[in-house]
Amino acid sequence: MKNSKAANIYLIFCLLMIYLPIIIVIIYSFNVSRITSIWSGFTLDWYRQLFKDRQMLESLYTSLKLGVLSSAFAAIIGTLAAFGMSRAKIRGGQIVEYVSILPIMLPEIILGMVFLAYFSLIRLKLGMLTLTIAHVAFCIPYIYLLVKARLVGIDKSYAEAARDLGAGEIRTFFDITLPLIFPAVLSGIFLAFAMSFDDVIISVFVSGVDTNTLPIKIYSQIKIGTTPKTNALCSLLFFATVLLSLISARFAQKRKALK
């Protein structure tokens, strides 16, 4: 009984440590004062100003577009790579696999410098294209690891039965393997999108003058001081994330009920 009570207290403490700063950000998004640490009254003006801030909205659109492109391309490459590595029998396979997940272990500042040097070497203009290439490169390992782990748990007899019935390799992959690994692919896409959307360090190195992601925009505002308008944006993003999580959980429950 004592252990259960201690566990509950510890859980509440952990939840407070995680969500208390978010709650404070949400509360101060309704603050009248421009100073985010001093409460001066309730207002919705910062939300109105946010929707009138064209630069902030353009930065948000750039980040959303970048996240979608990066996670989509990374999903295709990472899924095919995991499937190929699970089927291939080559010497040094473990070394190849280690190299493929290396971007996760390298510090982002090193990756940013490497990408910048490479793009400068091939004389590729910094912009949306370089941002997408860099983000795809460091998002691939997340999808690769999730899909590879899912492939390990799949019974190979399903694919073998499909081939015995006359299905080719491509049809077997799309009709049998892909539906079985789709939850892992989807999880990888969400994770890759989150990593791309939140990235600051690599984006600073490979973004051009005309491209400005939301994290870079907020980071640049910190140097001169932020306003509750930034809190309002963070609050909206938080509620959007919660809503998507609830929809995803509801969808997962329906799928289990159908099964």
Say which residues have a Cβ less than 8 Å from residue 60's Cβ, sequence separation at least 6.
214, 233
Please tell me the predicted confidence (pLDDT) of residue 34: 78
Report which secondary-structure segment, H or E, holds 191.
Answer: helix 178-198
The ranges assigned to domains in the chain are 53-258
Q: Which of 56-60, 69-73, 167-171 has the lowest mean pLDDT?
A: 167-171
Tell whether the model's pLDDT for residue 1 goes beyond 70: no
CA distances from 180 to 22, 45, 134, 175, 184 (A): 36, 48, 29, 9, 9
More confident residue, 200 or 3: 200
CB of 60 within 8 A of CB of 233? yes
Instruction: Tell me the residue type at 239.
Output: F
Tell whether the model's pLDDT for residue 258 goes beyond 80: no
What pLDDT, in 10s, does the model give residues 83-131?
A: 888 777 767 667 777 777 778 888 889 999 999 999 999 999 998 999 9
- Enter the CATH code of domain 53-258: 1.10.3720.10
What pLDDT, in 10s, does the model give residues 140-173?
A: 999 998 999 888 878 777 777 877 777 778 888 8
Half-sphere exposure of residue 121: CA atoms within 13 angstroms, side-chain side: 6
Residue 47 tokens read as 């939300």
